[in-house]
């Protein structure tokens, strides 16, 4: 075990009203994939941005030990952070449509990374860019390098983003839903590429996703986030075999698998976990990013009636979320879950 990234008790607040992340802790080891799962709005992406020191305006960030190797990220100047970003730590953002600069060609945007951090010549940088575009499955990379982002489809842009993140062979890659916009066939190809890089370079990967299929196949360690808190954190086999937290159990009960495959799937007990779980899930409300002033009453606020209990620390589930008693009528909208998960419930 060789921790590349360590974050403890990360708190992110927007202004003084919304607490987006409330005490999240995670460790990513060398050569390991750590998956952060949870529904949208639970603070996954904000966690990643806070680690990269890229918070939006009016954001306050506190953490006990945000550490990359031995560097304390709190002590790092903006310049020092800029030297790290794109070089040792790279990030693949969620929206490929908005994260490329429309005024520059793909080639110059990709080459810039290597020119800046490695003092490579433009020719060398473009060669490396072409090589990486080939590896992420883009045909005719030399033509693509001369094109502008608007000339590429969403899937291609996302692959360009991934290739760009890999330009400097980073030690830590933070990927925020890297394959959500892609076809299943391209998705498997990119996930395999990431795994190859992990074997070759010992890349540490923090993968943010809501797709438990990806989690199962990629992760060594999984953290489940809910309403700004990491509610369960466990090695992947453990999490899938014996989920502790009711929310995790609910997620697993509703895994989207096409029926023909589900029947052949050896872990199908999860997807068949049954009507009881689905009924429980339907009674839960959508958690909103909590207002800080509600902190004292947040649990009762979020879940109108719950028997509360709290596990201790890591490995155990922090059970701030318990199932409603069956007699309670749900008033809020149903819990948002991955699409087919919701479908399974209905």
Partner 1 sequence: MTAAVEVRDVCRAFHTRSGMMASEHVVRAVDGVSFNLQPGAVLGVVGESGCGKSTLARLILGLLPASSGDLLVDGRRLASLDRRERAQLIQPVFQNPYSSLNPRQRVRDMVGLLLAAQNDIPVSKRLDRVMEMLVRVGLSAEMAERFPKQLSGGQRQRVAIARALVLRPRIVVCDELTSALDVSVQAQSLNLLAELWRELGLTYVFISHNLAVVEHIATEVAVMYLSRFVEQAPVDALFWDPRHPDTQALLASVLTPEPDQGVPDGGLGDTYPDPADIPPGCRFHPRCPVVFDRCRTDAPDGIVRDGRLTECLRS
331 part of the interface to partner 1, by CB under 8 A? no
Residue 21 · residue 11 · CB < 8 Å? yes
User: With CB under 8 A as the contact rule, which of the stretches 44-52, 67-75, 102-110, 265-273 interacts with partner 1?
Assistant: 265-273
Confirm or reject binding of residue 213 to partner 1 (CB under 8 A).
yes
Q: Does 102 bind partner 1 (CB under 8 A)?
A: no
Dump the DSSP string for 69-89.
TTEETTT--HHHHHHHBTTTE
Does 31 contact partner 1 by CB under 8 A? no
| Binds partner 1 (CB under 8 A): choice among 72, 83, 122, 154 | 154
Answer for which of 8, 197, 201, 267 binds partner 1 (CB under 8 A) is 267
Q: Which of 102, 88, 190 is CA-nearest to residue 151?
A: 102
* Distance separating alpha carbons of residues 26 and 34, to the nearest angstrom: 9
- In total, the chain counts a number of residues equal to 346
24, containing H or E segment: strand 18-29
Task: Output helix, strand, coil percentages for the chain, rounded to the nearest 5.
Answer: 40, 20, 40
Q: How many angstroms separate the CA atoms of 166 and 239, rounded?
A: 30
Piece in contact with partner 1 (CB under 8 A), picked from 2-10, 122-130, 204-212, 291-299: 204-212
The dihedrals phi and psi of 172, each to the nearest 5 degrees, come to -130, 125
Q: Which of 242, 261, 275, 295 is the binder for partner 1 (CB under 8 A)?
A: 261
**How many residues interact with partner 1 (rule CB under 8 A)?**
56
The least distance separating partner 1 from the CB of residue 112, rounded to whole angstroms, comes to 26
CB of 87 to partner 1, least distance (A): 27
Smaller CB distance to partner 1: residue 89 or 255? 255
Q: How far is the CB of 185 from partner 1 (least distance, A)?
A: 5
- The answer to whether residue 332 forms part of the interface with partner 1 (CB under 8 A) is no
Look up residue 174 and give its DSSP letter: E
Distance linking the first and last C-alpha atoms of the chain: 43
The stretch near partner 1 (CB under 8 A) out of 15-23, 110-118, 186-194, 311-319 is 186-194
Instruction: Assess 255 for contact with partner 1 (CB under 8 A).
Output: yes
Identify the sign of the CA torsion 145, 146, 148, 154. negative
C-alpha 285/C-alpha 269 separation (Å) is 25
Q: Which residues bind partner 1 (CB under 8 A)?
A: 39-40, 137, 139, 153-155, 181-189, 191-192, 195, 210-219, 236-237, 240, 252, 255-263, 265-267, 270-271, 286, 336-340, 342-343, 346
């Amino acid at each position: 075990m060789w921790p590349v990234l360590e974050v403890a008790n990360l708190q992110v607040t927007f202004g003084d009203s919304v607490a987006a992340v409330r005490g999240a802790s995670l460790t990513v080891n060398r050569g390991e994939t750590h998956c952060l799962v949870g529904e949208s709005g639970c603070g996954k992406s904000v966690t990643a941005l806070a680690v990269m020191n890229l918070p939006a305006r009016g954001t306050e960030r506190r953490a006990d030990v945000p550490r990359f190797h031995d560097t304390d990220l709190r002590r790092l100047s903006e310049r020092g952070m800029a030297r790290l970003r794109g070089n040792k730590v790279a990030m693949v953002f969620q929206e490929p449509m908005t994260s490329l600069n429309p005024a520059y060609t793909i080639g110059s945007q990709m080459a810039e990374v290597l020119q800046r951090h490695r003092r490579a010549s433009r020719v060398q940088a473009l060669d490396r860019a072409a090589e990486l575009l080939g590896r992420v499955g883009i045909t005719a990379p030399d033509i693509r390098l001369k094109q502008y982002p608007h000339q590429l489809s969403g899937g291609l842009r996302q692959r360009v983003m991934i290739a760009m993140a890999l330009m400097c062979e980073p030690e830590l890659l933070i990927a925020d839903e890297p394959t959500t916009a892609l076809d299943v066939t391209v998705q498997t190809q990119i996930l395999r590429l990431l795994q190859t890089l992990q074997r070759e370079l010992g890349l540490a990967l923090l993968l943010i996703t809501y797709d438990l299929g990806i989690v199962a196949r990629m992760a060594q360690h999984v953290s489940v986030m809910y309403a700004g808190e990491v509610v369960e954190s466990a090695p992947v086999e453990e999490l899938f075999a014996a989920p502790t937290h009711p929310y995790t159990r609910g997620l697993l009960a509703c895994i989207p698998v096409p029926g023909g495959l589900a029947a052949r799937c050896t872990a199908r007990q999860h997807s068949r976990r049954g009507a009881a779980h689905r009924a429980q899930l339907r009674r839960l409300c959508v958690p909103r990013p909590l207002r800080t002033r509600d902190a004292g009453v947040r649990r009762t606020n979020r879940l109108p009636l719950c028997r509360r209990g709290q596990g201790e620390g890591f490995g155990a589930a922090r059970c701030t979320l318990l199932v409603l008693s069956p007699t309670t009528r749900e008033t809020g909208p149903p819990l948002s879950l991955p699409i087919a998960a919701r479908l399974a419930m209905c």
